[in-house]
Structure 1
C-alpha cells in the first residue's frame, strides 16, 4: 500500500480549452468520468480509496461542467470530442495509458474512449450504464417510442434546447434534490407511482419526482456542492450531451456493433431502472464485452452506485484493477 496523498485540483489544456481535474495518489493512472447531473465530486469516495490502494486516481469535470470549458456550440459535446478530452488529460498528466471508469453518461464516454483509442485506454470500467454498441434505429426515433401514451421520455425532453433549462434553473437545488431522490434506493417511487422518467403534456420532469427527505447518501453539504456548481455554470453544457445522440450515432457508424475488447468491469444497482431498459445489453456481454472480468448488480441500490454504496464500489474497483495486466 502507498500512502494516500491529499487531493489536488488542476486545470489542463485541451483542444476545447481546459479540463478541471482532481487527482490523488501515485501509481497506474485511473481516470474517473462522471455522469449527469454530477461532477468530479461524485468520485469523492473513490479518490482516497484508489490512492490508498496504489493508484493515481484522477476525477475530471466533463466538458460543460464545473471549472472545465463550456463551448457554446451544441455539437462540441459529441462523444468523439469528449474522447479527445480524455486523451488530452492522459497526455497532460505525462502518462501513456490509463484505465478509464465512467458512471451514467461517463460510462459511454469511457467505453467510447476505449473503442476509439485502445492504445491509450487499456481497460474500461462502467457503472450503472452497460456497454451498448452503436446500432439500431437513430436514437431520436427510438426515444420517441419510449414514452407512455401521451407522456414523453425524459431523454426526448432533454434534447430540446432550452426546455429543461427553463424548468431547472429557477430552483437548481430543489430540482437536483428531487432528481437524485427519484433514482436512489429508499426514496425512489414505488410500484404504481408515477414514473419519474416521463413527462406528461404541459408538465415538467420534476412533477413526477417524489417529495420527501433526501436519500441517505445526500447530506446538506453534498447537495450544497452540486447546487453551487450548477447555479454557477447553468445546465446547458451538461444537457448538450443528450443533444448529440444522433450525431454520435452518425460519428460511430464505422463501429456499428463493435465489441469492446479490453479488460472490462460492469457494476450497477439492482433497483436502477436502467437495468430494466438495458437488460438486453447486459445479456449481450459475452459478445459485446469479450474481455469482461466481472459484472455485478448490487442489491437494494439505485442509480448513484458509487455514492450510494461507496465501500462496495471501491472494493469492486480495486479487486478488478488488481487483476489487470501491468
Structure 2
C-alpha cells in the first residue's frame, strides 16, 4: 500500500481519522458502506498530481475514527459536523467535498447545511434527493412485498451484525461482487438488495471470483478494518434515517446551489431507483456542472473505473 500521511483531528464524536496527500486547494473524500478511506486509494494520488490537497476520511464509526455507542450519534447533522471538523482540523476554511454511496449523502447535506465551508460538491452513485417526502421507515417497509428491502433489514440493532461478523471477509467479498459489473447476478436472478423473510442478504450474493477491481490484498484491507471495529458503526447510519427526516424538515425540498457533479454506474440499481432524482437535477442542483452515467459500471464507480473517474473529477475541479 502506498505511504500516505495519517492524522487524527478533533470532532464532536471524539476524533476523525484522515489520510491525505498533496498540497493546494482541499478536496475532502467521504466513503460509503461498507468501505473506508481506502476506497479512495486511486483518487488520492491523482488529485495530488493535479495540484490538490486530497484528504480521505474514515466516517464516524469506521476505521480509526471514533465509534460512539449511542445509535443516535450517527445522524446526518452530526456527520456533517464531522466533515466540518475535518476541514478545520486540516487548517482550512473551505473545501470541495466528494462522496460515494452514503458518503454522497453526507457530501450533499454538508453542502446544503454548510455552504460557508463546502464550496462545491460531487456525488458518486447516489444522486441528491432533497430532504422531505414520506417517513423513510414507512417507505422502506412497503418495499419488497414478501421480501424485505436491505435498508429495512438493517434497522434492528444486532440483526445484520449477526449475519456479517462471523465471516466479515466472506460477506464483504459477496456484497462487493453482487454490486459490481461483471460479477453481479444476471437479470432475472433474485435481487441481492432484498432479503427473503427469515433469510440473509448473503444468501443471494454470488459465490464466484472477486470483481476485477478488487484484489485479495484490497479485500484483506477492508476485512481487517471491519474485523477490528465490527459493523455496528457503519450500520447505525441506516438506523438514523427517521431522525434525519425530522432533523432536516426545515430544509424540505431545498436545492444545493454550489457547483456540483454526479457520476453513476449504468448497471447500478441505485441509478434506476433514483432516476427521478437525476431527472430533477435542473431544480435540485441548479449549479450542476455535469452528470455522467458510466456504461458497464456497477456501484463502486471510483474503484471499478478509477482512471475515468479521476479524469472527470480533476476536470470538474479545474473548472471551478
TM range (shorter): over 0.9
Is 1:259 the counterpart of 2:255? The answer is: yes
Counterparts of 1:1-326 in structure 2 under 5 Å? Answer: 7-147=4-144, 149-324=145-320
Question: What is the CA deviation profile of residues 52-79 of structure 1, one whole-angstrom value per residue up to 9, with x for unaligned ones?
Answer: 0000000000000000000000000000
Question: What is the CA deviation profile of residues 253-308 of structure 1, one whole-angstrom value per residue up to 9, with x for unaligned ones?
Answer: 00000001100000000000001110000000000000000000000000000000
Q: Whole-Å Cα distance in 2 between the matches of residues 319 and 51 of structure 1?
A: 13
| Cα shift at 1:7 | 2.0
Q: Whole-Å Cα distance in 1 between the matches of residues 98 and 222 of structure 2?
A: 21
Q: Whole-Å Cα distance in 1 between the matches of residues 74 and 146 of structure 2?
A: 30
* Contact 1:6 1:24 (C-alpha < 8 Å) held by counterparts: no
Q: Which runs of 4+ in 1 moved over 3 A?
A: none
* Structure 1 residues 216 and 207: CA distance shift in structure 2, 3 A: same
Question: What is the CA deviation profile of residues 294-323 of structure 1, one whole-angstrom value per residue up to 9, with x for unaligned ones?
Answer: 000000000000000000000000000001
| Cα shift at 1:92 | 1.0
Q: Whole-Å Cα distance in 2 between the matches of residues 92 and 213 of structure 1?
A: 41
Question: What is the CA deviation profile of residues 106-157 of structure 1, one whole-angstrom value per residue up to 9, with x for unaligned ones?
Answer: 001000000000000000000000000012100001111111x210000000
Question: What is the CA deviation profile of residues 183-209 of structure 1, one whole-angstrom value per residue up to 9, with x for unaligned ones?
Answer: 000000111101000000111000011
| Cα shift at 1:6 | 5.5
Q: Whole-Å Cα distance in 1 between the matches of residues 82 and 242 of structure 2?
A: 20
Secondary structure class of the residue paired with 2:187:
coil
Q: Whole-Å Cα distance in 1 between the matches of residues 126 and 4 of structure 2?
A: 27
TM-score after normalising by structure 1: 0.97
Q: Whole-Å Cα distance in 1 between the matches of residues 226 and 56 of structure 2?
A: 18
Secondary structure class of the residue paired with 2:278:
helix
Q: Whole-Å Cα distance in 2 between the matches of residues 198 and 8 of structure 1?
A: 39
Q: Whole-Å Cα distance in 2 between the matches of residues 52 and 152 of structure 1?
A: 45
**Which sections of structure 2, spanning at least 5 residues, go unmatched?**
none
RMSD: 0.8
| Cα shift at 1:160 | 1.0
Secondary structure class of the residue paired with 1:187:
coil
Aligned length: 319
TM-score after normalising by structure 2: 0.99
Q: Whole-Å Cα distance in 1 between the matches of residues 234 and 57 of structure 2?
A: 14
